[in-house]
Amino acid sequence: MTSEEFRRYGRQVVDWIADYHEQIESLPVLSQVSPGRIRDRLPAAPPEQGEDFDAVLADLDEILLPGITHWQHPSFFAYFPANASGPAILGDLLASGLGVQGMLWATSPAATELETHVLDWLADLLALPDAFRSSDTGGGVIQHSASDATLVALLAALHRVSGGASERDGVASGRYAVYSSAQTHSSLEKACRIAGLGNAALRKLDPDPATLAATPTQLRELMDRDVADGITPALVVASIGTTGTGAIDPVRELAEIAREHGAWVHVDAAWAGVAAVAPEFRWINDGVDLVDSYATNPHKWLLTNFDCDAFWVADRSALVGALSILPEYLRNTATDSGAVIDYRDWQVPLGRRFRALKLWAVLRWYGAEGLRDHIRNHVALAQEFESWVRADDRFELAAPRTLSLVTFRLRSGDDDTRALMERVNASGRMYLTHTLVDGKVALRMAIGATPTERRHVEAAWAQLSE
């Protein structure tokens, strides 16, 4: 593609995206296609001769768009948001255009240094503990997702608890245990499988019936029993904002107990953590001064398109110890000097994209003020929605509201609640998903798309309650 063609098609794509966002409200939020429908319309074989980019854009409109569930739609209330924004999209475009691979400091010093810097900035904005700063013993890194963050936290924990032996000798089943609330995200169970501990190593704490948060007394019991059985507590994962209901575990109490046993404490605040940009929501982070690692996703609720999970450790040496291998073809003067960060040693893959650019663009475009407004707006909308649920006798809250997530259901039972969800989702006018609370179906109203305004939340409630 020549430079001139790139300029021409580039403008077309920028306009396509702007048009898409302008008209997104007119599209059904949840794609209504049946399985195989999209593939049926694609040619069976790749083209022999090159085609024009216009053909790609035409097929995007005609073939793919009906198969898109519109995560950026103002009436997308499903799962957790994955909100994007103009500056993030453009920052990401710059990363694609530069096409650098920041596996080592030496392979593009600016990619590493900007990442370290914006993660320090974000730690400032969220008022995270000093130990997480690069100027202290820790530091931040962008992971692909919160699942990756949980996995590397587990690997760092195993490194530390085994005195550095796990890299050589493996983990041996039945030797280590991991603890979390039963409400913790499934990525922890996946991490236990991946890291070779198996599901059997995971101890799930029964959530407190009122708050759905983990119960510290039970953690102590389980840990004491494991220690008596010769099993070493390796990791405790505390959630700030569980996926099901947004429950917030008592991080401080869990961390105090974990510390007595030398276990690593990781906080998964994938969705909720970014709310701490606003001082009035910083209570969610009580106790994080006692933890070893912390993850939150700007790609969920902080206007930065996927992928961008911000992960901090209080002691970077355990993480690097778990993940560093230095073959000859990666040796270089800067690495040998010890004066630089090589982020390949902070993650599972070797290669890495220049993801800091988009986060940098977001933090600068919005500023601290803009980010606070963004979060406050969604929380205020959820408060209103909660009040409407409370005021309607046919509905009940299934769990306390957390920030911008309201979990609710019809009092008349699971079948009605499920039918209501299916009806509104099939309408294409809104999209929300469900969970189970106390074994009963509950709907999750997760407010967080970038363009969501009061009228969209009002319309959603009108449709749900009609």
Q: What are phi and psi of 362, to 5 degrees?
A: -65, -45
As a whole number of angstroms, the distance between CA 338 and CA 344 comes to 14
Query: Nearer Cβ to its own copies, position 436 or 462?
Result: 436
CB of 454 to its own copies, least distance (A): 19
**87 is a contact residue toward its own copies (CB under 8 A):** yes
* Closest separation in Å from C-beta 49 to its own copies: 4
Contact between 45 and its own copies per CB under 8 A: yes
Which segment (118-126, 214-222, 231-239, 376-384) binds its own copies by CB under 8 A?
118-126
Which member of 170, 412, 419, 465 binds its own copies (CB under 8 A)?
Answer: 170
d(C-alpha 136, C-alpha 319), whole Å: 15
The burial of 66, by beta-carbon neighbours within 10 Å (0-12 exposed, 13-18 middle, 19 or more buried), is given as middle
Among 161, 205, 238, 361, binds its own copies (CB under 8 A): 361
User: Least distance from C-beta 229 to its own copies, angstroms?
Assistant: 16
Site for its own copies in 364-383 (CB under 8 A): 364-370
Q: What are phi and psi of 160, to 5 degrees?
A: -70, -45
CB 268 within 8 A of CB 151: no
Minimum Å gap between C-beta 302 and its own copies is 12
Binding mask 303-342 for its own copies (x = CB under 8 A): --xxx--------------xx-xxxxxx-x-x--x-xx--
- Token output for 337: 């000097």
Residues of this chain, 239-298, that bind its own copies according to CB under 8 A: 243-244
119 binds its own copies (CB under 8 A): no
- Which of 58, 127, 348, 419 is the binder for its own copies (CB under 8 A)? 348
Nearer to its own copies, 220 or 451 (CB): 451
Among 181-189, 283-291, 379-387, 454-462, which window interacts with its own copies (CB under 8 A)? Answer: 181-189
Q: Of 38-46, 283-291, 383-391, 456-464, which part binds its own copies (CB under 8 A)? A: 38-46
Cβ distance to its own copies smaller for residue 60 or 397: 60
Q: Can you tell me the distance from the alpha carbon of 466 to that of 462, in angstroms, rounded to the nearest whole number?
A: 6
Sheet with 232-239: strands ordered across: 139-143, 309-313, 293-296, 264-268, 232-239, 176-181, 202-205
Is 231 a binding residue for its own copies by CB under 8 A? The answer is no
The 10 Å Cβ neighbour count of residue 210 is 8
Residue 337 burial (C-beta neighbours within 10 Å; 0-12, 13-18, 19+): exposed
**Could you give the 3-state DSSP secondary structure of residue 332?**
coil
d(CA 352, CA 35): 33
The yes or no reply on residue 408 touching its own copies (CB under 8 A) is no
Sheet-wide strand order for 440-446: 395-397, 405-410, 440-446, 433-437
Q: Could you say which of 29, 119, 131, 197 contacts its own copies (CB under 8 A)? A: 197
| AA identity, residue 114 | L
| Interacting positions 47-76 with its own copies (CB under 8 A) | 47-51, 53, 55-56, 60, 63-72
Among 28, 74, 75, 125, binds its own copies (CB under 8 A): 125
CA dist., res. 295 & res. 271, Å (int): 9
Helices (H) and strands (E) in the chain, counts: 16, 11
Residue 229 touching its own copies (CB under 8 A): no
* Total residues interacting with its own copies, rule: CB under 8 A: 157
Among 29, 84, 156, 222, interactor with its own copies by CB under 8 A:
84
- Asked if 7 interacts with its own copies (CB under 8 A), we say yes
Nearer to its own copies, 257 or 343 (CB): 343
Radius of gyration, alpha carbons of the chain: 23
Q: Tell me which of 62, 349, 415, 455 binds its own copies, using CB under 8 A.
A: 349
Residue closer to its own copies by CB (options 329, 466) is 329
Instruction: For residue 194, state whether it binds its own copies (rule: CB under 8 A).
Output: yes
Residue 83 sits in the site that holds its own copies (CB under 8 A): yes
Between the alpha carbon of residue 290 and those of residues 45, 260, 264, 285, the distances in Å are: 56, 12, 10, 11
Rounded CA gap, 343 and 351, in Å?
Answer: 9
Give the C-alpha separation, 342 to 181, whole Å.
34
By CB under 8 A, the residues from 417 to 446 that bind its own copies are 433-436, 444
Q: Could you tell me which stretch among 86-94, 284-292, 396-404, 452-460 binds its own copies (CB under 8 A)?
A: 86-94
